[in-house]
Structure 1
Amino acid sequence: MSGPWGWCLAAALLGGALVATNPDEQDFEDFAGERLVLLADAELCDQGGLPMVARLLIQNCSELVQGQRAVLGRLALQGSRRINAGVFSLYNTEIGGQTLLPGLRLPRYRILTLGVAGQLVMLQASADEA
């Protein structure tokens, strides 16, 4: 089929495929949990973000952080506003700023994520020292 009807059919099929593969909130929660674990591990464990007392008490910082993947994903989803345009979604997330221990405060993160065609991609991320 060619001509204008062919193009209309192709556009409708492409649009339907994008709607069907638009990542949902569970996909976002999984994605965010993975990314936040990487961020937290780097901030707290690799860069020595924990106070000396906490470093003495916590034997395996990375393992402890890895175990929080699901919790961090739920936290990200709760701190997000989703704009669902059908063929794609935008997640505007703001989390952090809480005090964990005396002298240890989480940075506040702002992240914009695009979900389209079964993929999630961070478009913009910033951190403010809280």
Structure 2
Amino acid sequence: MGGAVLLAGAGGMLAWTNPGPAEFADFAAGRLVEEISSRVCESSTLPSVLGLAVADCAALVASQRTSLGAVVQRQTRRTNFGVLSVYHSQLGGQQVLRWRVPRFEATVVGVAGRFVIVQAREPGS
């Protein structure tokens, strides 16, 4: 009987701390800001004309965090199991200023108020 109560309590706690879509969008946007900054701002991928016009590429990318989160949210399917959620996202392929956004797929588990990337890959690689 005590084990069942303990198990029910643990399940209830996990369900209560199961992060929702808004938390996932914030998490994913943060990861995208890091990825875009490293791929575009810290490499020679940025077209030279744009590089001259943009004083602080990383700050420009970071300022788009909310928009990036909204894009991820639209491209993500959530499966909610109550005590945890599985998020599967497929992004990329768009052309932006002569730079093709890389295609990217990720599966992330949200549990106990945290996110764990289970799989992340660029299709075809």
TM > 0.5 fold call: yes
* Alpha-carbon offset, residue 96 of structure 1: 1.0
Stretches of structure 1 that go unaligned for 5 or more consecutive residues are none
Are 1:27 and 2:41 an aligned pair? no
Q: Secondary structure at the match of 2:18?
A: coil
- Rg (Cα) greater in structure: 1
* 4+ residue segments displaced more than 3 Å: none
Residues 14-53 of structure 1: pairs in structure 2 closer than 5 A: 14-53=10-49
Shift, 1:128, TM fit: 4.4
Gaps of 5+ in 2: none
Q: Does 1:119 align with 2:79?
A: no
CA distance in structure 2 between the aligned counterparts of 1:49 and 1:123, rounded to whole angstroms: 28
Instruction: State the partner residue of 1:93.
Output: 89
Task: Please give the secondary structure, in 2, of the residue aligned with 1:29.
Answer: helix
**Secondary structure, counterpart of 1:43 in structure 2:** helix
Q: Percent identity?
A: 39
Q: State whether residues 107 and 128 of structure 1, in contact with CA within 8 Å, keep that contact through their aligned partners in structure 2.
A: no
Q: Does 1:56 align with 2:40?
A: no
Q: Deviations over 1:63-113 (max 9, x none)?
A: 1001011111111111000010000000000111100023x1110110111
Letter in 1 for 2:10: L
Q: How many residues align?
A: 124
TM-score, normalised to structure 2, is 0.95
Q: Which amino acid aligns with 2:43?
A: Q
Partner of 1:79: 75
Structure 1 residues 75-84 or 53-62, which shifts more? Answer: 53-62
Cα separation, 1, equivalents of 2:13 and 2:81: 14
The whole-number CA distance in structure 1 between the counterparts of 2:38 and 2:28 is: 15
TM-score, with length taken from structure 1: 0.91
What secondary structure does 1:121 align onto? Answer: strand
| Cα separation, 2, equivalents of 1:88 and 1:58 | 41
- CA-based RMSD of the aligned residues comes to 1.2
